[in-house]
């Protein structure tokens, strides 16, 4: 349907900033750039048991909210007036309650990457058929 509407998948040969392209994004590589990190950002709710094995649900909640806050602060350097408000740890009834915030952050990261692509500040990782786009910093 996108092809029929004039949109193709952006790949390594697509001119940077092309308006008629679909840009594929994986949030985590973009987060590494956003937060100037060398290694995985621990923010996935479903992986919190592996990330913090042996930690209580309350501690995992606090760890996730800390990571979410870092991501939100990083995004706020590029996006004005983000209306996402994170809950206080004591207001989180279960870890699964945090999934909606993880998803919202992922969506914001994808939007940020799209804006960076349009402004000519992204690079493709892929080939002539497909690519993942990551901001250049």
Residue 1 lies in a domain: no
Instruction: Indicate whether 137 pLDDT > 90.
Output: no
For 77-136, give the DSSP string: TTSS-----PPPGGG--SGGGGHHHHHHHHHHHHHHHHHHHHTT-EEEEE-SS-EEEEE-
Percent of the chain with pLDDT over 70: 100
**Residue ranges making up the domain that contains 44:** 8-135
Query: Taking the CB of residue 119, how many other CB atoms lie within 10 A of it?
Result: 11
Q: 53 in a domain, yes or no?
A: yes
Question: pLDDT tens digits, residue range 3-62?
Answer: 999 999 999 999 998 889 999 999 999 999 999 999 999 999 999 999 999 999 999 999
3 in any annotated domain? no
pLDDT tens digits for range 59-112 = 999 999 999 999 999 999 999 999 999 999 999 999 999 999 999 999 999 999
- Residue 108 is assigned to a structural domain of this protein: yes
Tell me if 81 sits within 8 A of 41, measured CB to CB.
Answer: no
Residue 2 in domain: no
Q: Is residue 75 part of a domain?
A: yes
pTM score of the predicted model? 0.93
pLDDT number for residue 111 = 97
Instruction: Return the pLDDT at 50.
Output: 95
Does residue 76 lie within any of the structural domains?
Answer: yes
Q: What is the mean pLDDT of the chain?
A: 96
The total number of structural domains that make up the chain: 1
Specify the pLDDT at position 115: 96
The answer as to whether 56 is a domain residue is: yes
pLDDT at res. 92? 97
């Amino acid at each position: 349907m996108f092809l029929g509407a004039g949109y193709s998948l952006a790949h390594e040969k697509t001119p940077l900033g092309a308006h008629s392209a679909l840009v594929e994004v994986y949030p985590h590589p973009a987060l590494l750039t956003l937060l100037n990190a060398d290694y995985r950002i621990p923010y996935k709710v479903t992986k919190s048991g592996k990330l913090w094995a042996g930690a209580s649900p309350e501690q995992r909640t606090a760890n996730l909210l800390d990571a979410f806050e870092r991501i939100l602060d990083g995004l706020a350097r590029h996006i004005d007036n983000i209306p996402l408000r994170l809950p206080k740890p004591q207001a989180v009834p279960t870890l699964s309650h945090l999934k909606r915030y993880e998803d919202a952050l992922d969506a914001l990261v994808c939007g940020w990457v799209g804006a960076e692509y349009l402004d000519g500040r992204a690079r493709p990782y892929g080939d002539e058929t497909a690519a993942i786009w990551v901001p250049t910093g």
